[in-house]
Amino acid sequence: MLAYVVLLGALSIIGVAYGHGTGSETLPPIEMDGELVTLVVSSSQEEGVVRVDIAMVRHITGEAVPNADFHITARHGQTQIFSQEFHRSDGRIIFDLTDGMEYTSPESSGGGFFGLLDPGSFKVSGPGLAGGGLYSFDVSVLSADGYEPADPPLFESAVSVPITYDDVMDGGRWGDQPMHFITYYDTLHGRGYDPETGRVFFEMPFQWDAAVIEQIETVHVEFTIPNGFGDMLASDMEAHVNGISTPPRTVAIDDYFMDVRTVHIVLPRHLLLEMLGATGGDSMEFDVGAAPRTPYSAVTSNGEYRVLVDVGPSGLAAGREAAVSFNITNVFLRSMNVEAGYTATVTRGGALLHSQSGVSNGEVTMRFPIPGDASGPALISFQDINGNDLADAALPVFIDPVPPEVPQTPAVPPWIRDTVQLWTSGDIDDGAFAAAISYLIQQDIIHMDTMPQVGGDGGPIDDWVRTTAGWWVDGLVSDAEFLAGLKYLVGRGVIAVAP
């Protein structure tokens, strides 16, 4: 049997709890036939069925208003499910929503022993109806307890049932990473991770309208990050919605589990109203990632300490010296450093790269060389913090490979030696040599970082330039020395180069 909240018992007072992002909702009361009444909507979910329980109750006592006639228009997300009238002698109506190939009209399941033991429910089927999301119900009260209002009041209600998604993301250098998403408002589309920016992104339908937002308690989305996904293990995360940066308090990280950590994005009603002036449309586009210059974070296995690790703005690279800083802090107060003994190790593929022990009471920096062949995922581990063999923590980090050497394009290509040799041996005259070199400079085949100022009107080529050119052909002087001679000739106007 489905479990659900019974809302018909006598309550001392009904509190206001808005839905549109929560699993239940009590709408603001209205006056009807001289007394205050309200609508209470709750939801529950079991495999294959979402149950929604709607009751009109007296605001003060919480008792159901009997003999009620409703007109209800229901929607799942943006899709209308049905629009129909209902009569309920007990003032309460239950819908059991199940998956089906197409939408069906509500069908009564009866009421048990001649309808006396159980108010029964209405079965409704449709594509994805049992999958969760936002369920909206516009309830017009046509009559209640013998009273028929001339202008039937309308309650606009909605409740959210969690929708879950299991994805495998391309984590770039970390490989494929399983991630679990839960939305407590509406469906998520376009879920992904960008390895270049280190950001998680997704989109959700949302009507940016003040009247809609006023009915919302909160919009809540969460996703889990495996504790082996190093680039996403930051101590602080930030979120943008439709390009708008949200306050830090809207993103919370639950990192007290050994295998995964959960990132919560919670947007309360007042923040949505503030954002309304800067955005609009019919969707929320989320972009979530590590806050700038924030350290990595891990909680010890006994939940007593938090270790903050900083590998510097340029990270770790093979063949270079590493500088890894860390702080051991109170698990809840990250600004409160703890004086504690520790043993720290850095390993890569089972090989020990560094080990040190000491007492931490503030920032500690470990400096050690990284071998040139040690690129890839590595692990920074902390053991026996403050002498407690249960106070361990580990953080995966990535060691970048040695950057490949970029071959330098020679300022003077080697094949030009043949042309220069023809000139130095007297096989071509100075004019032909100067014209050839002029063409090669203007085509940037012979590259000069700076061009000299022309301060002459030509003339013969100095003997020392010919001698230097001959030495260059024989490999006795550098390209720079040969270029110095060519620059000298350009400056004298012997080699003409267009400005």
How many other CB atoms are there within 10 angstroms of residue 218's CB atom? 17
pLDDT at 6: 27
pLDDT at 367: 93
Q: What is the DSSP string of 216-276?
A: -SEEEEEEEEETT-GGG-BS-EEEEETTEEPPGGGEEEE--SSSEEEEEEEEEHHHHHHHH
pLDDT at 110: 63
pLDDT at 13: 29
Domains of the chain from N-terminus onward:
24-161 (2.60.40.1940), 163-290 (no CATH), 311-400 (2.60.40.150), 416-492 (no CATH)
Element (H, E) at 95: strand 92-99
Cα angle: 335, vertex 248, 364; to 5 degrees: 30
How far is CA 55 from its chain centroid? 39
Residue reference for tokens 């048990």: 112
CA distance 20 to 213: 9
Amino acid at 492: R
Residue pair 339/359 in contact (Cβ under 8 Å)? The answer is: yes
Residue reference for tokens 């992002």: 21
3-class DSSP assignment, residue 177: strand
Backbone CA torsion sign across 77, 58, 122, 154:
negative
Amino acid at 61: T
CA distance 266 to 241: 11
3-class DSSP assignment, residue 127: coil
Could you tell me the two tokens for 433?
Answer: 């040599």
Tell me the backbone φ, ψ of residue 282, rounded to 5 degrees: -130, 30
pLDDT at 189: 93
CA distance 219 to 301: 32
Strand partners, 241: 244, 286
pLDDT at 326: 93
CA distance 270 to 213: 9
Helices marked H in 101-244 — which ranges?
210-213
Strands 122-126 and 340-348: unpaired
How do the pLDDT tens digits run along the chain, 499 residues long?
Answer: 233 222 223 222 233 333 455 677 888 888 888 888 888 898 888 888 999 999 989 888 888 899 899 999 999 877 899 999 999 888 899 999 999 999 998 888 765 444 444 457 899 999 989 888 888 899 999 998 888 988 999 988 888 888 899 999 999 999 999 999 999 888 899 999 999 999 999 999 998 999 888 878 789 999 999 999 999 999 899 999 999 999 999 999 988 777 889 999 999 999 999 999 899 889 999 999 998 888 999 999 888 889 999 998 888 999 889 999 999 998 878 778 888 899 999 999 889 999 999 999 889 999 999 998 899 999 999 999 988 888 899 999 999 998 766 555 566 777 788 888 888 888 888 888 888 888 878 877 777 666 666 655 567 788 888 888 888 888 887 888 888 888 877 877 777 776 6
Give whole-number Cα distances, 355 to 13, 71, 347, 380, 438, in Å: 63, 72, 9, 10, 61
Q: Residues 6 or more apart from 468 whose CB is under 8 A from it?
A: 477, 481, 482, 484, 485
CA distance 284 to 237: 18
Strands 92-99 and 122-126: parallel
